Amino acid sequence: MKVVLAQLNFVIGDFEGNAQKIIKHITKAKNEGADMVVFSELSVTGYYPYDLLGKKEFIRKAEETVVKIAKHCNGIAAITGAPSFNERGNQLFNSAFFLNNGKIECTYNKTLLSSCDNFCECRYFEPGRNFSIIEYKGEKIAVTIGGDLDSAQNKLNQASPVNEFIKYNPDFVVNISALPFSHNEDGQRKNELVSRAKEHGIPIVYVNQAGAYTELIFDGGSVFINERGEITKELNYFKEDYTLVDTKKSSEINLQNNTCYIEKIHDALVLGIGDYFAKTGFRSALIGLSGGIDSAVTTALAVRALGSENVRVLLMPSKYSSAHSLSDAIKLAENLNIRYDIIPVQRAVDTFENELAPLFAGLPPNVTEENIQARTRGVYAMALSNKFGNILLNTTNKSEYAVGYGTLYGDMNGGLAVLGDVYKTDVYKLSRFINRCVEIIPENSILKPPSAELKPDQKDTDSLPEYEYLDRILFSIIEMNKSPEEIIDSGFDANTVKRVVNMINMSEYKRFQAAPILKVSSKALGAGTKIPLVARY
């Protein structure tokens, strides 16, 4: 059977726009002689709608849109995803609709619902229990959604759909999915698909979502795997793509080039920034540029996503700012051909301190005075954002977010946290990747010791362990979910581990109020990690 894999980028709740895109690709596939075209999970609504799924009019609109799309399926079939009402219960189904002869011919409901930290599907959906096969043009097709291809039973002891479908001897399996990108789990998805194809000796058509939805970034990478478990077609990553396969005659292997995880993080962040602006209707970004590595990388990524004409930076030196920090920032702005403005903050900082002096009489300077500087910069940056409609991008990295090394309402300001799921050590690797062909980020920004420059000769290591050491501890805690005892037993210093754990727990109130973070790992902070604000654990 000739099947089109349509890997597209949808907009949540844009029923008209999503329908037009789906219909356009159905028409294209029909003109190219395809028998069927397959779209991704919840493609009609966009993934993931969260509490919009609780609005009955949202679900009705989704079902009306599926009916509208079905009318264009004459001489060609399509499989698309949308929520549907469960008339016997109070919840919904996450459904795949088989469209043919101008109508909805049958529906399959997702069985193994996702319980990952970003979206708990059990909150909205009930598991499906229908394992019937679609018969179309003399072939039997098993339709699955997302994790339904898992061979094992899930936590609720529900039967594995793929094992149920195999009893009907299908000619091939379709899996429509919306699996977010995770650099540290890269490759697992393809390995699992290959294992299922080999295990059952059956071809698999896998179509994944592409595009970004605030925190979530979907990388695409849809594939066709033949009955021998060979990936013969692989679609592009981090962009829309489209291909036609013949499920009976697929032996020529056509794969994407392997890329390092840093390049994938780079491409994911560029997509995340670009889609955030495109889908919210905003056009231009503002960044507070310090001359340091985090703001430099954020600025370079923003320019790649939005274009130099849509990125503006603000340089805000104080008396503690080194001369090279200002010159490095200016050089970066010139290299990227973006507008920069310089507003020295010291006079405003002095005014704040003078006004507070009577209240602080007899008390020594401490982090309070440092935070005044950061918050003064935040006031200036947000003033420009308000006046000119630029969205302020936050430059805090994951290492800093994790341990609370940032000023709430100061350098933690912003509408989107670009590097919030990227450890400091990987920020440096990103800078090298950005500079792989020509120096964009000044070498001095990469080589100099990181510093907030809020007091004389300040270095990040005055308050934190070396980032190489810190990031290994953080990864063990956050991504690997190890206990302090396990980390200490693996060779880390006990006092350092306990100190890091304490900093993580004590700074959750900051993360609770932080900007949305672009997720590129298996466990992001913010929406991906919830710790009670009031707890004694």
Residue closest to 373 by CA, chosen among 438, 428, 455, 437: 455
Full-prediction pTM beyond 0.75? yes
CA distance 423 to 464: 14
Which residue in this structure is represented by tokens 């340091």? 292
Please give the pLDDT value at position 152: 55
- 10 Å CB burial of residue 361 (0-12, 13-18, 19+) is exposed
CA distance 278 to 307: 13
- 10 Å CB burial of residue 170 (0-12, 13-18, 19+) is buried
List the 134-136 sheet strands across, edge first: 134-136, 139-145, 172-176, 204-207, 223-225, 231-234
* Mean pLDDT, residues 455-459 taken together: 87
Residue closest to 82 by CA, chosen among 150, 10, 151: 10
pLDDT, tens digit, 9 for 90 and up, residues 343-365: 999 999 999 999 999 999 999 99
Domains in the chain, ordered, with CATH?
A: 2-258 (3.60.110.10), 263-464+507-528 (3.40.50.620)
Checking if the pLDDT of 157 tops 70, the result is no
Please give the pLDDT value at position 134: 96
Tokens of 13: 């709740």
235 neighbors 190 (Cβ within 8 angstroms): no
Tokens of 457: 């000769």
Instruction: Average the pLDDT over each of 81-85, 129-133, 469-473, 509-513 and give the range with the smallest value.
Output: 129-133
Residues 6+ apart with CB under 8 A from 160: 112, 148, 150, 151, 152, 153
321 neighbors 459 (Cβ within 8 angstroms): no
Checking if the pLDDT of 142 tops 60, the result is yes
| Structural element, H or E, at residue 443 | helix 443-447
* Mean pLDDT, residues 153-177 taken together: 81
Name the band, by pLDDT with cuts 50, 70 and 90, for residue 121: confident
In 171-259, at which residue ranges do the beta strands (DSSP E only) sit? 172-176, 204-207, 210-213, 216-219, 223-225, 231-234, 241-246
In 316-424, at which residue ranges do the beta strands (DSSP E only) sit? 339-342, 391-394, 416-417
pLDDT, tens digit, 9 for 90 and up, residues 481-536: 999 999 999 999 999 999 999 999 999 999 999 999 999 999 999 877 777 888 77
| Structural element, H or E, at residue 468 | helix 467-478
288 neighbors 295 (Cβ within 8 angstroms): yes
3-state SS, residue 341? strand
Checking if the pLDDT of 190 tops 70, the result is yes
Please give the pLDDT value at position 250: 67
CA distance 24 to 27: 5
34 neighbors 3 (Cβ within 8 angstroms): yes
Checking if the pLDDT of 119 tops 80, the result is no
List the 2-7 sheet strands across, edge first: 103-109, 92-100, 77-85, 36-38, 2-7, 241-246
Beta bridge partners of residue 263, listed in sequence order: none
Name the band, by pLDDT with cuts 50, 70 and 90, for residue 437: very high
In angstroms, the Cα distances linking 190 to 217, 251, 253, 500 are 18, 17, 15, 35
